[in-house]
Amino acid sequence: MAVSMQAALNAETHRGSWFTVRYMGVIDYEISWQAMKDFTNTRTSQTSDEIWLLQHPAVYTQGIAGKPEHLLADSNINVIKTDRGGQITYHGPGQLIAYLLLDIRRLNLTVRDLVRRMETAVIHMLNEYQIKAYGCVDMPGVYVGAAKIASLGLKLKKSYCYHGIALNVDMDLKPFSRINPCGYAGLAVTQTKDQGVKDELDVLSRKLSEYLQKELVK
């Protein structure tokens, strides 16, 4: 069951020297999206960067330059046009979302740097489980073999960014068959469960948070 944004913001929170990390549960996509915009619009140079770990109920999201033809079949899953980069993807229960609300100038990062470090955090986490994963310059995200296991998209406003990365953990992958994932026809998708990972989403969320923090401040 999805929780309210206020309840999510009051949920388990860890405040470190660099980041505030929030473990937020299941939140409707549009509610979390609006909260990210509100946070970014009201933050200042003194505001701590945040990482939000959460899940969404089933939803397709289409990036700002997304093409409607990448939705291949009708379904009862809503399609939301959002303000991140990239094409269409699917979010649903069992997928780990890490939203990064960052001041990239303060972190001395370019957008390209940030994308590579997000991918590297996932790759290093998967390496713990002896999973050989890699990134691709022309197709941002993280891959295992020929299949995508994590997608990413960002929105930059001045020196601030939001949105982030989605890692498939233990979910129903069928909705991906109704789209060209991230705009690529025939792109296979996979998840940590199918790669032999037995740890559940709460364990992986903490691991991913740790790897992201290490990559962002190195």
Closest CA to 149 of 192, 96, 207, 179: 192
Question: Is residue 141 a known part of a binding site?
Answer: no
H-helix or E-strand spanning residue 49: strand 49-55
Query: How would residue 75 be classed by pLDDT, with cut points 50, 70 and 90?
Result: confident
Question: Is residue 91 a known part of a binding site?
Answer: yes
The reported pTM is 0.94
Residue-level pLDDT at 35 = 96
Question: Is residue 90 a known part of a binding site?
Answer: yes
Question: What is the C-alpha separation between 84 and 173, in angstroms, rounded?
Answer: 22
Contact 32, 10 (CB under 8 A): no
pLDDT tens profile 131-155:
999 999 889 999 999 999 999 999 9
Domains and CATH numbers, the chain: 5-216 (3.30.930.10)
Question: Is residue 86 a known part of a binding site?
Answer: yes
Cα 157-34-60 angle, rounded to 5 deg = 100
Report residue 25 as tokens: 């549960």
Mean pLDDT for the stretch of residues 7-18: 71
Report residue 68 as tokens: 């409607």
Residues known to be catalytic: 182
Residue-level pLDDT at 1 = 67
CB-neighbour burial class of residue 20 (10 A; exposed 0-12, middle 13-18, buried 19+): middle
Mean pLDDT for the stretch of residues 71-80: 91
Question: Is residue 56 a known part of a binding site?
Answer: no
pLDDT tens profile 97-108:
999 999 999 999
Half-sphere exposure in the Cβ direction for 34 (13 Å, CA): 8
Contact 51, 22 (CB under 8 A): yes
H-helix or E-strand spanning residue 116: helix 111-127
pLDDT at 199 over 80: yes
Question: What is the C-alpha separation between 41 and 168, in angstroms, rounded?
Answer: 30
